[in-house]
Structure 1
Amino acid sequence: MNERERRDFEQGLAEEVDAFLAGKPSRRTFIKRFGQMMGMIPLAGLALPAWVDQALAQAAVDLADASTPLGRAQAAAVKASTEGPADGSAFRAVQAAKQFPNVTLNMTYESGLQALDPRNFSGPVWEKFTGMKSNVVELSHPDQYSKPIAEHIAASGAYDILDIEPAWTPSLADGGVIAPLDDYIAKYMNKADFDDYHPLFKALPTYKGKIWGFFDDGDMFALYYRKDIFSDPKLQDAYQKKFGKALEVPKTWEDYAQTAQFITDQLQPNVYGAGHFRKAGSPGNQFDFLQQFRANKGVFFDADMKAQLSTPAGMKTLENMIAANKASIPGNNELDAVSLWAAFLQGKVAMIYSWPPTGRMAANYSQSAKAINFIPQSSIAGKVGYAVVPGGHPEHATGYSKALTADSPNAEAAYLFMQWATSPPVSLARTMLPYSLRDPYRLSHYKSEEYRALWPDAKEYLVNLCNSANGGLLDMVMPGWQDYALSLDRMCSSVWAGTDPKAALDTAAAEWDQTTERLGVDSQKAFFAEYNKLPGSSADHTVESLGMAVKLE
């Protein structure tokens, strides 16, 4: 093993351990796991093989062919950055940034595919425009939170720009790790850009009346289903005879389990009705429980900040999830998101709900990039439909904001990059990169004719993401989020292993109360009150229920 391979091995091992402890795999692990699932990367060894690193290194630095939708979007981003309009955020950022030609920006990104954007597109393009260089620091997901805190305590000034979960914003802001952007926004930004955010995402970086970052990743869950299966005349007739109603894409979680069981009974072992990423620590259990629990009118805490998990809403949620598990592909409870994607692409599963890359992979768009051409071709391209998850309230699971570190030695230069990268034309080009995991979040993304031209059904995909955000629910944007989430993951995993659901809910509720007490009941009550102001904090406080829904055609 040479020195580089040894470093890769140790880095991969550290990331996997961190990911296991925190319940979140890194995208580097995603690449490796996907290859393993398809038999293209050996199961032994943790480092990526050299040919994968070479493929990643060959990801296009130059702009794409201008005759393609992606190329046209990139050309529009270049024009907006260099020609204007003069009041556009992209143009203003580039012009102002030219005063910092010798600066190198240190920015954190999650390891793997997320980091390909700044390494191969936005970083090099920004350098061409401004002379400013960028250094991409790849971190495992847990380290994206812990490392900036450690560097802040050490006053090292190691990082300029952070990729953070929106849920971390209050903790990092109160801890002095990140800086508010309001003064820079007033000086440089076209504030009309804020109106281009979907309303679910617009307020996410706002805390205590200040703006602490730019939202940058619309990680909305959605339902992806096989249109050919749901339109099959024989299945439609059999379903009508059995249940006295039409076979349709399910609207409730009860119908979801029933439909999945019917498809499994009719088509197994070739196709199963559903699949879920239920593996402990994968993650997945926490997000699924959160969206179903709130769709069932569950609330997190009472007025005294006591956990309200062990309630009829909690029991109904676990019962629905258990029924869905029984109707699913064998090994369902040990699947992670990657293995579920693989099963769906291979045509083994009729329905899944997951993050937006599902749609791009199923259409074979992601596989168009040389950087990740080891992802197998989809066997279901052209057969996939898109819908809001049953219950109508999908989770916005994690996502990212760009934040400015309070200790940055290049604060103004770093801010200008953030403004440029998240501006409407540049962010569109970034979310259209086939090898990136950045997902649409602006209205201009959903409406983009170029994005809608990426594959035949891309328009329906984008409209559904917008509709999903209208009824979408947010992770807890408050301290302790990770601990609360991991309690839910442990709770669900114990139920899959045979624990009585009521007992598991009681245990999780007790763990939530311990977390709240450790962080301070009064303090958490104040944070929870702030969180409840955000659209998407509960099923009764969504963008749609507030009259702010965005309807697209």
Structure 2
Amino acid sequence: MKFFMLITNKEFKMNNSIIKHMFLFFLSISFVFSAQVYGKKISVLTMTGPFISGPVKVHGEEWGKKTGHQVEVVEAAFSDIFPKVQQAAAIRSDAFDLLLVANIWMADMVGWNYVIPLDKYIKDPAVQYDLDVPSGIKRKNTFNEKTYGLIADNDNHYLFYRKDILGNPEYQLKFGKKYGYTYNVPPRTIDELIDVAEFFNNWDWDNDGKNEYGFVRSTKRGAQTYWYSFSWAAPYTVIPNFSIDTPGIMFFDPNTMKPLVNTPGFVKGIEKWYEMGQRGTAPGLDWDRGNVINEIILGNAAMAIDWGDIGPSTYKSESVVQGKIGYALPPGSNEYWDWRTNKWVKTKTINRAPVHCFNGWSWFITSTSSNPDIAADFMKYMLSPEVSSVDVASPDSGYQPWRNSQLEGLENWEKNGWERSDAQAYLQNTIDVTNAPNAVIDMRIPGASNYSEAIYETYLTTILSGENSVQQAMDIVAKEWESLTERLGRDKQIEFYKWHLNYR
């Protein structure tokens, strides 16, 4: 049996009106939902450009056109970034969705509960985290076994040297007659590095009519000089990975927070750093990082230990050393101080311990962001193999290589004037330093800048001025570090230091 419903004209008009209202209601809901997904503005806090922030602006526009969202880049001078982050965390401000800031601030931001773990985002196959991200980068991204930051710029210190000068057979012969052995190209130990620097110091080895230097470094207080000393102390302080479960321990005993800066190993390394100043470097105490880069690219120094930025700088128009610079791990030592047993240990192989000074610029998502998934989408776009390979090859980005796949995409380097073989050597060395088994991840604990810059560098530079011996200066540093640890809370600092080390 079929039933038929007879609808009057009045009833039809009434039902039609209801349908229209229902349609408009659901349409309005869809617009509200769309507004939640499309057309959002995310705010990124980072350093004033063109370096670091420049690529964010360029790729922000690209990503915005693809997604309909907008990227607002909030720039600040480097010295102002940390206070801005600290203030935003204190008042729980939602002013920033993303931070592109120093990796060494990770502990502070985690302690303030201002950044969120990113582990669920890196599971996206497009990120290629498991296969394409080196183990050394993962160490810097991880804190307390969680991924809180993602490196966009891979910072560490390594050796730059003039291949043509150190490889000159005539110079090698003269060196052998003077020192009684043939040096390696590049030097492999710190003692050898000092000898080679002394040999090439203060004479005209490139026949340009003026004297050059063997080695160049920063010596000025307030000019990152403390970072320039770490590569000297590390090989004598860091216990090799085959003798300890957690490698890369350099600053404190992780079980007590007792400083290692005044132990015999650290002190010997700083004594070697001071010795280099007496024998193989340019005179003066007012050298800064800009001087280091310029002296290398202008052909006035044979060697330096510095960040990877020297590599792209050698291809600037003012450079006279294009294709003449070699890259290597920082020299090491055949002995180290075992601070657990208080004994010197001799090694058959050279103990190398590259230091990831500053660690690099990292992406973080704030816990106050209203749109963490959208922020993560932009972050993943910036870090994608396609985009990041362009950025790390650009001399104007300020980013250093950090993906394995960046070893293969050399076309971008050639576009920027690099010789293919030189780019390959530069990239390979950067990844080798990054993955070095004894590498030291720069200090990530609350108050890190107070430990390293305010205290350590202050007394480190008194060694250069002759006010203190190395041991005297490091004893003062150790005492000041102990006082700072007590003020911040020893148990808390131990916990954070172990999280930093991913201590086992």
| Secondary structure of 2:152 counterpart | strand
Aligned to 2:362: 401
2:237 partner letter: K
| Secondary structure of 1:386 counterpart | strand
Distance, in Å, in 1 between the alignment partners of 2:121 and 2:464 is: 50
Retained in 2: the 8 A contact 1:250–1:256?
Answer: yes
Distance, in Å, in 1 between the alignment partners of 2:74 and 2:297 is: 32
Aligned to 1:473: 440
2:383 partner letter: T
Retained in 2: the 8 A contact 1:193–1:424?
Answer: no
Aligned to 1:115: 53
Distance, in Å, in 1 between the alignment partners of 2:163 and 2:55 is: 32
1:108 partner letter: L
- Work out which of the residue numbers 423, 430, 436 in structure 2 matches 1:458: 423
Aligned to 1:288: 228
Distance, in Å, in 2 between the alignment partners of 1:158 and 1:236 is: 59
Instruction: Please tell me whether residue 390 in structure 1 is matched to residue 334 in structure 2.
Output: no
Q: How many residues matched? A: 425
Distance, in Å, in 2 between the alignment partners of 1:330 and 1:290 is: 19
Retained in 1: the 8 A contact 2:126–2:384?
Answer: no
| Secondary structure of 1:301 counterpart | coil
Distance, in Å, in 2 between the alignment partners of 1:491 and 1:168 is: 23
Q: How does 1:3-402 map to 2 (within 5 A)?
A: 100-112=37-49, 113-119=51-57, 121-185=58-122, 188=124, 190=126, 192-248=128-184, 249-267=186-204, 269-283=210-224, 285-297=225-237, 299-302=250-253, 303-362=255-314, 364=315, 367=316, 376-391=317-332, 392-398=352-358, 399-402=360-363
In structure 2, relative to structure 1, the CA distance for the partners of 1:409 and 1:261 (3 Å cut) is same
Residue 532 (structure 1) shift: 2.8
Distance, in Å, in 2 between the alignment partners of 1:184 and 1:319 is: 46
Retained in 2: the 8 A contact 1:160–1:405?
Answer: yes
| Secondary structure of 1:223 counterpart | strand
Distance, in Å, in 2 between the alignment partners of 1:208 and 1:528 is: 9
Distance, in Å, in 1 between the alignment partners of 2:35 and 2:285 is: 53
Q: CA deviation digits over 1:212-234, x for unaligned, max 9?
A: 23221111212111112112232
Aligned to 1:524: 493
Distance, in Å, in 1 between the alignment partners of 2:131 and 2:138 is: 8
Residue 480 (structure 1) shift: 2.2
Bigger Rg over Cα: 2
Retained in 2: the 8 A contact 1:289–1:488?
Answer: no
In structure 2, relative to structure 1, the CA distance for the partners of 1:524 and 1:270 (3 Å cut) is same
Distance, in Å, in 1 between the alignment partners of 2:324 and 2:501 is: 39
Distance, in Å, in 1 between the alignment partners of 2:160 and 2:362 is: 26
Distance, in Å, in 1 between the alignment partners of 2:80 and 2:148 is: 20
Q: CA deviation digits over 1:320-361, x for unaligned, max 9?
A: 111111234434531111111111111110101111110111
Residue 183 (structure 1) shift: 4.1
Backbone CA RMSD of aligned residues: 2.2
| Secondary structure of 1:105 counterpart | strand
Distance, in Å, in 1 between the alignment partners of 2:126 and 2:403 is: 15
TM norm structure 1 = 0.73
Residue 402 (structure 1) shift: 0.3
2:501 partner letter: N
| Secondary structure of 1:246 counterpart | coil
Residue 265 (structure 1) shift: 4.9
Q: How does 1:437-452 map to 2 (within 5 A)?
A: 437-451=398-412
Structure 1: unaligned runs, 5 residues or longer: 1-96, 368-375, 535-540, 542-553
| Secondary structure of 2:291 counterpart | helix
Residue 380 (structure 1) shift: 1.1
Distance, in Å, in 2 between the alignment partners of 1:297 and 1:155 is: 40
Residue 99 (structure 1) shift: 7.1
Residue 410 (structure 1) shift: 2.5
2:475 partner letter: D
Retained in 2: the 8 A contact 1:104–1:134?
Answer: yes
2:375 partner letter: A
Structure 2: unaligned runs, 5 residues or longer: 1-33, 239-249, 333-351
Distance, in Å, in 1 between the alignment partners of 2:354 and 2:143 is: 23
Distance, in Å, in 1 between the alignment partners of 2:318 and 2:490 is: 51
Residue 442 (structure 1) shift: 0.9
Distance, in Å, in 2 between the alignment partners of 1:319 and 1:98 is: 62
Retained in 2: the 8 A contact 1:250–1:390?
Answer: yes
Q: CA deviation digits over 1:282-339, x for unaligned, max 9?
A: 11x3223333222102542234222121121122112111111123443453111111
Aligned to 1:500: 469
1:293 partner letter: A
In structure 2, relative to structure 1, the CA distance for the partners of 1:98 and 1:279 (3 Å cut) is farther
Q: CA deviation digits over 1:377-410, x for unaligned, max 9?
A: 2011121111111113222111021001111132
1:507 partner letter: I
Distance, in Å, in 1 between the alignment partners of 2:145 and 2:304 is: 38
| Secondary structure of 1:157 counterpart | coil
1:446 partner letter: L
Retained in 2: the 8 A contact 1:431–1:440?
Answer: yes
Please identify, of 132-141 and 501-510, the stretch whose mean Cα deviation from structure 2 is larger.
132-141
In structure 2, relative to structure 1, the CA distance for the partners of 1:184 and 1:301 (3 Å cut) is closer
Retained in 1: the 8 A contact 2:107–2:444?
Answer: yes
| Secondary structure of 1:107 counterpart | strand
Distance, in Å, in 1 between the alignment partners of 2:304 and 2:284 is: 11
Q: CA deviation digits over 1:501-530, x for unaligned, max 9?
A: 111011111111112111111111112222
Aligned to 1:50: none
How many percent of aligned residue pairs carry the same amino acid? Answer: 28
Residue 449 (structure 1) shift: 3.4
TM norm structure 2 = 0.79
